Amino acid sequence: MKTMSCPSCGKRMKRNGATSAGRRRWRCTACGASTVNRYKRDADAEQLSLFLGWLLSKRTQGEMGLPARTLRAATSRFWKIWPVSPACDEIHRVVRVDGIRIKRRCVVLIALSGDGNVIGWHLARSESESSAAWAALMSRIAPPDVVVTDGGGGIEGARRAQWPSTRVQRCTFHAFEQVKRCTTTRPRTQAGVDLYGIAKRLLKVEDADGAAAWLASFAGWCSDYDAFLKERAVVDGAVRFRHERLRKARRGLEKLCREGTLFTYLDADLAKDGEVPAANNAIEGGVNRQIRIVLDEHRGMRLDHMVKAVFWYCASRLECPPPPESILRDMPTDDDIDGLYEKAAELGARDESVARWGDAVVWSEFHSSNPWSHAGE
């Protein structure tokens, strides 16, 4: 039996009696919205659902109930759609942010709510050089109480500009990983062994006393090995520190201690309203991992299709994913984006302050809920 999708939230609707005129009434099981519109078969929406059913699953084209060639012919036009990120005006206590790199050529920045739903995404050229891109993503999300981050470049500057009152929790697992990259899992010096052990214990700090003990142990390590870390040697005719990798690991931890972002999750005031995560596992092991599975299952896609696949996955992880009908009606296409490029190029011809490539296009326009409305202006 055919059922209706809610025009408001996209969830399943159930029959809810009939009007005095005899028309079937439907009611949403999720948001409670009611409508008297009868089910109408939308071939385009059904084909889009088929396309997403293949793209976001492990099924091959031949397993979708149609010949593979027929499936490609019916759904190829959906590759032109850009599923853009909606604005999020709901205030979340905790927001996790991270980026997933695609072919080392670009990165999709992703924001996740405390309950695991995707609330925003944005395309950038580089995670470490994209303060403007992070700012564009954050500007469309209401400032949370706490943001959990791995400390990538550009994030802090964007946070200060867009979320100045938001507290920062530095992902403790990433802090440990930074030390491990310097010491390896089998350090060759006692100083390395001790520092690796201290960094590993960072993952087990559960209360304020544990945090104080950890800080004391790290301070003790810095004092005990201060002279050792100052040792120098002549390498290729230049005087260098013997243990530069250990010095790098120490600098990283010292910076986090100065900033006070390692143990934000232990703040008593923040904990009153619920637990604050210490690490970004929900986005690293959850969303990012699933995206990698999608890209691996459909390996061989060209770059723009890979980016759109990531966008489609993020859209499917919204708290209320848009129904296919609204996607087809509202989302911009390649032609709409080309129109923005052309407009930017025209502006550049009249105003030298607008670059011809790259910065001439404000990527936040591509990620707004209605970016294509500017194309015809």
pLDDT digits (tens, 9 = 90+) for 303-328: 889 999 999 999 999 988 888 888 88
- Residue 58 in any domain: the answer is no
The confidence score (pLDDT) of residue 142 equals: 93
Where residue 123 sits, what CATH number does that domain have?
A: 3.30.420
Do 162 and 294 sit in the same domain of this protein?
yes
Do 192 and 146 sit in the same domain of this protein?
no
Do 198 and 269 sit in the same domain of this protein?
yes
| Domains identified in the chain, total number | 4
pLDDT digits (tens, 9 = 90+) for 216-228: 999 999 999 999 9
- Residue 221, domain extent: 172-279
The confidence score (pLDDT) of residue 220 equals: 95
76-90, 126-140, 175-189, 256-270: which range is least confident on average? 126-140
The confidence score (pLDDT) of residue 160 equals: 92
Would you say residue 291 has pLDDT above 70?
Answer: yes
The confidence score (pLDDT) of residue 348 equals: 56
Mean pLDDT, rounded, of the chain:
84
Would you say residue 363 has pLDDT above 80?
Answer: no
**37 or 298: which leads in pLDDT:** 298
Would you say residue 2 has pLDDT above 80?
Answer: no
At CA 155, angle to CA 119 and CA 197, rounded to 5?
105
Q: Which residues pair with residue 107 across a beta bridge?
A: 101, 124
pLDDT digits (tens, 9 = 90+) for 240-269: 888 999 999 999 999 999 999 999 999 988
Do 362 and 301 sit in the same domain of this protein?
no
The confidence score (pLDDT) of residue 368 equals: 45
- Residue 79 in any domain: the answer is no
Do 96 and 159 sit in the same domain of this protein?
yes
Do 269 and 295 sit in the same domain of this protein?
no
| Mean per-residue pLDDT, 259-280 | 89
Do 235 and 98 sit in the same domain of this protein?
no
Contacts 24+ apart (CB under 8 A), 79-82: 79/305, 79/308, 80/333, 80/334, 80/335, 81/308, 81/327, 81/328, 81/331, 81/332, 81/333, 82/308, 82/311, 82/331, 82/332, 82/333, 82/334, 82/336, 82/337, 82/366
Instruction: Provide CB contacts within 8 A for 115, sequence distance 6+.
Output: none
Do 201 and 350 sit in the same domain of this protein?
no
pLDDT digits (tens, 9 = 90+) for 337-355: 777 767 766 665 544 433 3
| Entry pTM | 0.77
